[in-house]
């Protein structure tokens, strides 16, 4: 009876995962969707702890360890989530994703040792030791295949996510050497061959081979992400997220846990789709992201000559231009997040709206450091979701826009993506802010953006630069508008 009830709860949890993921696609329902999915996960965990019984009818036991781990994990997660800044959210996502990969790899290690413990005095693991009454070699092959898949994918996801985390917070820099991609290919080939050998000739494989695969997978995860440019980290994080989902699904197969299996499949599928969509948003293939180099080095950026003279605009002039416009489009970027200026931006929007100005926001798919970064940031400031336009919608409205206010965005508004075939971002769809009648760009300085390349927009006749911290500039603008 308990097993049937447990299965029903797993089914309910799986449904909540699907509903929650669906609701996450809309910022207006994202918070509720997250709560629904989290509730389903709590149900699945509680049901597993209290209702699960093995073939002999025994419960899990070890409740002290289980609840101790839950308490420690919940405490760390809660404190980290409360203290994290919105600018550091991509790093946290990458770090948490890495923990998921590590858990999946640990599951494979535990299950391998579980098989190994069935061996009596032998140092090697024999098929007959594991399945003494079974002649179905395929049963063992499938189980070992899942264990190794979870181990390899989980270890790669963990190591790669930690490197991505370090790159996002600036602690780790891009590193590549001659023959780097060949080294990665050979390393992956060795891992696959060793895993295949363990599956096919398991009787001659001991724990040393298994743990060698594990450590080589960790090494591959490190060297897999190290050469990828920082501007491509959002794509890499999405890809690693899909890896973690697949690794978790392997754990669901091992334990015959429907909720774990469904959750892993959903994460894997969502991460894969998001990776594909982001590559399309940058007009690049996944292979190009993983093997290519996006942007230029700091030395190259420093030696590149400026394309001309730029002009500045004063706060008072900017306030007049914005106040007497009919339509204003705000383009938020990472600079807005760094300055924590979302609330000041919303105040400016309300001021302009009160003066009869139509204000909307143009959101590029890869603005910020991860997909949806700007949407979450603006939602935190209670900006009306209906005012947020996707890139295609915004590009249709730019020609009819009086003023575009670019706040900390750089590469996603760079016209070089359309005109300079030698540019690393050539072909990447951008926000066509240059089509508006006037463009005001707020930046701290003229330094290149995340991709490390100079922005042609800054030197266009319609563009005026408004230097300073985004939050202070917006607050000063609001004060100037109030005095008009």
402 catalytic? Reply is no
Q: d(Cα 265, Cα 260) in Å, to the nearest integer?
A: 9
Region for residue 295 given its phi and psi (left: phi exceeds 0; alpha: psi -120 to 50; beta: otherwise)? left
CB neighbourhood size of 469 (10 A): 17
From the list 218, 217, 222, 243, the residue with the least C-alpha distance to 174 is 222
Q: d(Cα 473, Cα 43) in Å, to the nearest integer?
A: 47
CB neighbourhood size of 222 (10 A): 16
Q: d(Cα 404, Cα 264) in Å, to the nearest integer?
A: 42
From the list 270, 269, 312, 243, the residue with the least C-alpha distance to 464 is 312
Residue 210 to residues 100, 124, 271, 307, 342: CA-CA distances in angstroms? 20, 12, 28, 56, 50
On whether the CB atoms of residues 456 and 416 are closer than 8 A, the answer is: yes
Residue 32 to residues 40, 135, 378: CA-CA distances in angstroms? 13, 50, 17
Residue 311 to residues 49, 51, 185, 429: CA-CA distances in angstroms? 65, 69, 49, 26
Q: Is 313 helix (H, G, I), strand (E, B) or coil?
A: coil
CB neighbourhood size of 306 (10 A): 10
Catalytic residue among 54, 174, 411, 432: 411
Q: Find tokens 């308490």 and name the residue.
A: 71
On whether the CB atoms of residues 84 and 92 are closer than 8 A, the answer is: yes
Catalytic residues: 411
């Amino acid at each position: 009876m308990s097993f049937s009830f447990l299965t029903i709860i797993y089914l309910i949890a799986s449904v909540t995962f699907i509903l929650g993921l669906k609701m996450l696609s809309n910022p207006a329902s994202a918070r509720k969707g997250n709560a629904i999915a989290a509730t389903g996960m709590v149900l699945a965990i509680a049901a597993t702890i209290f209702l699960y019984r093995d073939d002999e009818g025994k419960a899990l036991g070890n409740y002290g360890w289980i609840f101790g781990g839950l308490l420690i994990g919940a405490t760390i997660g809660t404190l980290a989530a409360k203290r994290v800044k919105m600018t550091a959210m991509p790093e946290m996502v990458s770090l948490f994703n890495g923990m998921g990969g590590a858990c999946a790899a640990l599951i494979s290690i535990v299950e391998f040792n579980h098989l190994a413990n069935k061996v009596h005095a032998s140092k090697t693991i024999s098929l007959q030791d594991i399945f003494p009454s079974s002649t179905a070699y395929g049963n063992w092959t499938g189980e070992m295949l899942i264990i190794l898949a979870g181990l390899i994918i989980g270890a790669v996801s963990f190591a790669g996510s930690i490197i991505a985390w370090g790159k996002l917070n600036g602690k780790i820099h891009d590193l590549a050497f001659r023959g780097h991609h060949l080294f990665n290919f050979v390393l992956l080939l060795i891992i696959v061959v060793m895993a295949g050998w363990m599956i096919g000739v398991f009787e001659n494989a001991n724990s040393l081979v298994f743990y060698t695969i594990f450590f080589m997978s960790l090494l591959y995860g490190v060297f897999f992400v190290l050469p990828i440019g920082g501007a491509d980290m959002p794509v890499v994080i999405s890809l690693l997220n899909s890896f973690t989902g697949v690794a978790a699904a392997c754990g669901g197969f091992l334990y015959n846990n429907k909720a774990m299996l469904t959750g892993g499949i959903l994460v894997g599928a969502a991460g894969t789709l998001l990776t594909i969509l982001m590559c399309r948003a940058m007009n690049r293939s996944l292979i190009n992201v993983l093997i290519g180099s996006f942007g230029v080095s700091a030395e190259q950026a420093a030696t590149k000559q400026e394309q001309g003279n730029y002009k500045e605009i004063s706060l008072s002039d900017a306030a007049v231009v914005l106040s007497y416009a009919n339509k204003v489009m705000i383009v938020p970027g990472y600079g807005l997040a760094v300055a924590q200026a979302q609330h000041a931006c919303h105040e400016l929007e309300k001021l302009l709206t009160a003066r009869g100005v139509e204000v909307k926001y143009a959101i590029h798919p890869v603005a910020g450091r991860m997909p949806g970064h700007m949407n979450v940031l603006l939602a935190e400031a209670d900006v009306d979701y209906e005012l947020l336009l996707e890139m295609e919608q915004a590009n249709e409205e730019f020609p009819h826009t009086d003023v575009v206010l670019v706040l900390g965005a750089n590469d996603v508004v760079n016209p070089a993506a359309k005109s300079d075939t030698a540019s690393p971002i050539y072909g990447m769809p951008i926000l066509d802010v240059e089509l508006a009648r006037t463009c005001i760009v707020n930046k701290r300085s003229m330094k290149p953006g995340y991709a490390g390349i100079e922005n042609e927009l800054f030197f266009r006749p319609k563009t005026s630069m408004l230097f300073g911290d985004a939050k202070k500039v917006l607050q000063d603008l609001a004060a100037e508008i109030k005095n008009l």
